[in-house]
Structure 1
């Protein structure tokens, strides 16, 4: 099945995305066939005045602490296999699992990318610089805290809640402490950073999310829009009520440690 420009334009209008900051999570394969692919999808958002923000994570820079620091409840049991390459925000390195749409944003000539060496975000649009300015190595989810993000929309395009990154910030809002990792950078040497936990169990939050979502079929893809502030509120409350609600298995150290409250410094 083909997805036409008019299908996308109609969804942007129906879901009230025009001129909004959009935290986008996208599986391009969900569309069927879209002429122009991810680049055309991005063009249509930008032509509607949207500011498009995507996670552009990369794990290649991860390295061991230069001081040999080990924190308790830090989401791993010594199993990290590390051969780091330095992070450079001017480069376009990206974890392949981020998907074709995130890669399209990252490769856009006007994109801005943050300096976080493992959990960078990239954005294009009129508010890109302002939204991204609040992230740093320790405030990894600062992009959800800017004034410009207050009326933002989290948009899921053909993906499940397991791919919705701001849920990690909801864990932090619920009182959990983010994990620490170290990363090699091209210009700052080795830096300590905060990162999120496992997202494989975020699907268990679907009953909470269904109360605040709006849906629209776009070709073969299902688009689901959530007001950012409402998403953070319902997910944080779910974590407060049941700290283990998103635990993916009994064998995941990240889920185990985050259920206990996260890292202990």
Structure 2
């Protein structure tokens, strides 16, 4: 079987997504086939008045600090061996693991993309500019902070909580300090940025997410919708209650350092 466009339209109506900002996380393979693919899926959301926001991360620009800065508890142990290529927000470079739907958002002719050289977001729709405006190099999760995002929905299409990016922002809301990385840009040289932690253990948050989620079978795919503010509140409370709740293993430096509270800087 495959998923049809009518399945998508029915789901948009049932989940009350029309005209809202949708923070989308999608595995197209979960659809069991969908005529038109990711581009058609995106067009269906846009036809309903949605503003679609997707993470369009790329790690190719990552480089070492030009000043040799090494912050304590910064989520790595000197293992970064890299050959950076410069980030350009006008280009369509993207980490392949972001998936086909994020790539479709990035390649849409009317998309807007942020300037963060490692953790950029792209958006299409009437509220795209407003949704993306708060992000900068250090306020990496600014996309979840605009007034327009208060009624936003985080939509998981065939993916697990491990792929839900705003959970990283909940770590910050719980008082954890985000990691620092450096990246080469096409127009600004090397810049220092904030980035999130490991997401492999986000699956352990499911007991906190279940009370606020709405699930729907959409053709062959399972969609889960979360009100953004409720998701952030639930996850931040989980981190305050149990700082190590999402630790994926004993030998993950990002999990270890974030459990301890995150990076220690002078500022």
TM-score after normalising by structure 1: 1.00
Number of equivalences: 265
Write the mapping of 1:57-96 to structure 2, written as runs, cut at 5 A. Answer: 57-96=57-96
1:182 deviates by: 0.1
SS in 2 for 1:43: helix
Q: Write the distance in 2 (CA, Å) between the matches of 1:194 and 1:155.
A: 24
SS in 1 for 2:154: strand
SS in 2 for 1:256: helix
Q: Write the distance in 2 (CA, Å) between the matches of 1:65 and 1:227.
A: 38
Q: Write the distance in 1 (CA, Å) between the matches of 2:3 and 2:176.
A: 41
Q: Write the distance in 2 (CA, Å) between the matches of 1:33 and 1:158.
A: 13
SS in 1 for 2:200: coil
1:219 deviates by: 1.2
Q: Write the distance in 1 (CA, Å) between the matches of 2:121 and 2:187.
A: 18
Which residue is 2:22 aligned to? Answer: 22
Q: Write the distance in 1 (CA, Å) between the matches of 2:189 and 2:126.
A: 32
1:81 deviates by: 1.7
Q: CA RMSD in A?
A: 0.3
Give per-residue Cα distances to partners, 1:11-36, cap 9 Å, x unaligned: 00000000000000000000001000
Which residue is 1:176 aligned to? Answer: 176
SS in 2 for 1:262: coil
1:253 deviates by: 0.1
* Stretch deviating more after TM superposition (176-185 or 1-10): 1-10
Which residue is 1:201 aligned to? Answer: 201
1:2 deviates by: 1.4
Which residue is 1:217 aligned to? Answer: 217
Write the mapping of 1:109-124 to structure 2, written as runs, cut at 5 A. Answer: 109-124=109-124
SS in 1 for 2:243: coil
Give per-residue Cα distances to partners, 1:167-189, cap 9 Å, x unaligned: 00000000000000000000000
Q: Write the distance in 1 (CA, Å) between the matches of 2:37 and 2:8.
A: 12
Q: Write the distance in 1 (CA, Å) between the matches of 2:6 and 2:222.
A: 15
Write the mapping of 1:7-156 to structure 2, written as runs, cut at 5 A. Answer: 7-156=7-156
1:220 deviates by: 1.0
1:128 deviates by: 0.1
Q: Write the distance in 1 (CA, Å) between the matches of 2:246 and 2:201.
A: 4
Q: Write the distance in 2 (CA, Å) between the matches of 1:161 and 1:81.
A: 29
What are the ranges of 5 or more consecutive residues in structure 2 without an aligned counterpart? Answer: none
Q: Write the distance in 2 (CA, Å) between the matches of 1:123 and 1:33.
A: 24
Q: Write the distance in 2 (CA, Å) between the matches of 1:248 and 1:229.
A: 25
Give per-residue Cα distances to partners, 1:203-242, cap 9 Å, x unaligned: 0001110000001111111000000000000000000000
